[in-house]
Structure 1
Amino acid sequence: MGDVRKVGVAVDFSMCSRAALQWAVDNMLRKGDHLILVNIRPDTNSEETEMLLWETTGSPLIPLSEFTDAHVMKKYGTKPDPETLDIVNLVATQKEVVVLMKIFWGDAREKLCEAVDNIPLDCLVVGNRGLGKLKRAILGSVSNYVVNHSSCPVTVVKQHVE
């Protein structure tokens, strides 16, 4: 029981990824866990050396103190929303959870599965945009792909429409 659990949550700073994050906070995380926010960015044609280096392995693990800094996140080409930052700051202090972020570039389906193995994660929580059958058939479902190809347990959180 003394092992540190690494709980991953796929975040793209949308409403459905915030719902997945909040679900993980409310139902999975416990004191001492590591919460790893996994952010997938579209492929970039960046010539920056850091981006070329991270293209295959993803960014280094970014501590909470750095990913709340807009200047640092600009280097990674991402901007966390205030609501997500509020959730992770609260869980870090109230549940004494270590919060980290890892950014990958490429196809979300493949990179989420790679993240599970590369980090490695004990479990992964993803949001579901609730695409209809036709859109899901055309666009494909990231959550469905990850559930079927991940090497760890995956929880899919449906966004509640109110």
Structure 2
Amino acid sequence: MADVAAKERKILVAVDESEESTYALSWCIENIITGNSTDTLILLYSIPPRAVYSSLDGSGYLFSSDILASMERYSNEVAQCIMEKAKRACKDLVGVKVETIVEHGDARDVICQAAEKLHVDMLVMGSHGYGVIKRAFLGSVSNHCAQNVRCPVLIVKKPKN
């Protein structure tokens, strides 16, 4: 019998600063990643859009370029910390390629666009476990992605302690 080459799998994991995201990544590593050298684990973080803008956009807020640059640096530092934490969680994976992507924008759009662009085989996300009311006001990133991406979506819910 001839050896059948394993299909390369691309698994996209959306990460953020939440415990739910960390749990989803850990669960994925323990239950989805097989150690198959053809697997690629892609860690994606979305830097949220700024809530304040320069005076040039007509919003009425006036912030100096120094303040805007500081806010941008802070956002990038947060992204770097989150990605370093996610990469540390993957440190013991043998033979699995781990890639990181940081994008700017609304998480819903960034995740859906990345899943489409990268042609991933699976999207893994944590769930914040919002109730009906909170989800109605805040929206659910995982629900939006589950409805709008073409690949299978695994939403991992952190068990209550």
Query: Please, which of 7, 11, 16 is the counterpart of residue 11 of structure 2?
Result: 7
Which residue number corresponds to residue 132 of structure 1? 131
After superposition, give the CA deviation of every residue in 1:86-106 in whole Å (9 maximum; x if it has no partner): 311122xxx321111111111
**Under a length normalisation based on structure 2, what TM-score does the superposition of the two structures give?**
0.74
Query: Please, which of 15, 22, 31 is the counterpart of residue 18 of structure 1?
Result: 22
The reply on whether 1:88 has 2:127 as its aligned counterpart is no
Q: Which runs of 5+ in 2 are unaligned?
A: 54-72
Shift of 1:82: 6.4
Aligned residues: 134
Question: Residues 119, 125 of structure 1: CA spacing in aligned structure 2 closer, same or farther, 3 A cutoff?
Answer: same
Identity among equivalent positions (%) equals 34
Aligned positions of 1:1-162 closer than 5 A = 1-30=5-34, 31-32=36-37, 33-44=39-50, 76-77=76-77, 78=79, 79-80=81-82, 83-91=85-93, 95-162=94-161
Shift of 1:85: 3.5
**Under a length normalisation based on structure 1, what TM-score does the superposition of the two structures give?**
0.74
Which structure has the larger Rg? 2
* Paired residues of 1:13 and 1:84 also in contact (CA < 8 A): no
* Paired residues of 1:13 and 1:81 also in contact (CA < 8 A): no
Secondary structure, counterpart of 1:137 in structure 2: helix
Cα root mean square deviation, aligned: 2.4
After superposition, give the CA deviation of every residue in 1:86-136 in whole Å (9 maximum; x if it has no partner): 311122xxx321111111111111111101011221110000001111000
* Paired residues of 2:47 and 2:75 also in contact (CA < 8 A): no
Q: d(CA) in 1 for partners of 2:151 and 2:130?
A: 24
* Paired residues of 2:41 and 2:96 also in contact (CA < 8 A): yes
Q: d(CA) in 2 for partners of 1:110 and 1:81?
A: 19
Q: d(CA) in 2 for partners of 1:149 and 1:129?
A: 19
After superposition, give the CA deviation of every residue in 1:33-64 in whole Å (9 maximum; x if it has no partner): 11000111112489xxxxxxxxxxxxxxxxxx
Shift of 1:23: 1.1
Q: Which amino acid aligns with 2:33?
A: L
After superposition, give the CA deviation of every residue in 1:121-152 in whole Å (9 maximum; x if it has no partner): 11100000011110001111111111111111
* Paired residues of 1:11 and 1:37 also in contact (CA < 8 A): yes
Q: Which runs of 5+ in 1 are unaligned?
A: 47-72
Q: d(CA) in 1 for partners of 2:91 and 2:43?
A: 13
Secondary structure, counterpart of 1:89 in structure 2: coil
